[in-house]
Amino acid sequence: MADLLYPPVIGAARAWFKALDLRFDIHGTEHVPSRGGAVLVSNHISYLDFIFTGLAARPAKRLVRFMAKDSVFRHKVSGPLMRAMKHIPVDRSRGEGAYAHALKALRSGEIIGVFPEATISCSFTLKDFKSGAARLAQEARVPLVPMALWGTQRLWTKGHKRDFGRNHLPVSIRVGEPMNTDQDEPAAGVTERLRERVQELLEAAQRAYPAVPKGAADSWWQPAHLGGTAPTPAQARAL
């Protein structure tokens, strides 16, 4: 079935980025396979991360099918859009159906987008990764493609108002080399290697980020270990 809606949605998103005057710093998009299945794995710091993760696949002319919580598919506006773009609903109490759906898509040559932290990290640091992405890649015999986003939390994240003003916000995207998986390696080991790679990409994006907080009131988007006022990982878990 042809993707009749997905390309226009991407076009609308790109027009919106231009209207917001977002400044992109993107490296590594050549690592997204131009054909065949793959699991694209990113950190999760914003409600809009799926848009920017999908943007990383555009140079390869690929459309990413994201795994997202099923409540998004029940919404009267987002639900029809998500289904039309062939994204995959995940019932967190019964994940077998979503896993089977994603596995079938991978075997048919699709790219599946996964946020293995499952929820937004309020500390803007990496949380523990769930093993689903690694297990999917191993069973489908496709590569894992790690990536990291930075700056997206300044647009819209948990506990903060949306900022869709024309304020020249930079967004950094880093895509790493595909990781092949050994069928005999435990999924936990693959997951740990994957998390380490995403951490490296995240730190690279943070080092290169061209903006700094404008005083203490603006330091909420910086993690505590970098001098910001975001919750520490322990505080975020308590919240």
- Does residue 144 lie within any of the structural domains? yes
Q: How far apart are CA 67 and CA 98, in angstroms?
A: 8
Res 167: pLDDT: 81
Q: How far apart are CA 126 and CA 62, in angstroms?
A: 26
**Mean pLDDT for the chain overall:** 95
Res 2: pLDDT: 66
Place of tokens 């999760």: 44
φ, ψ of residue 72 in degrees (nearest 5): -65, -35
- Helix (H), strand (E) at residue 18: helix 6-20
Q: Exposed, middle or buried, 198 (CB in 10 Å: 0-12/13-18/19+)?
A: buried
Q: How many structural domains does the chain have?
A: 1
- Does residue 162 lie within any of the structural domains? no
State which residues form the domain around 99: 6-157+168-238
pLDDT one-digit tens code per residue, 6-48: 999 999 999 999 999 999 999 999 999 999 999 999 999 999 9
Q: Tell me the pLDDT band of 77, cut-offs 50, 70 and 90.
A: confident
Residue 183 has pLDDT above 90, yes or no: no
Residue 62 has pLDDT above 60, yes or no: yes
Q: Are 239 and 122 in contact (CB under 8 A)?
A: yes
Q: Are 107 and 140 in contact (CB under 8 A)?
A: yes
Q: Are 21 and 174 in contact (CB under 8 A)?
A: no
Q: Is the dihedral of CA 98, 99, 101, 106 positive or negative?
A: positive
- Does residue 205 lie within any of the structural domains? yes
Tell me which residue of 45, 47, 42, 43 sits closest to 111, measured CA to CA: 42
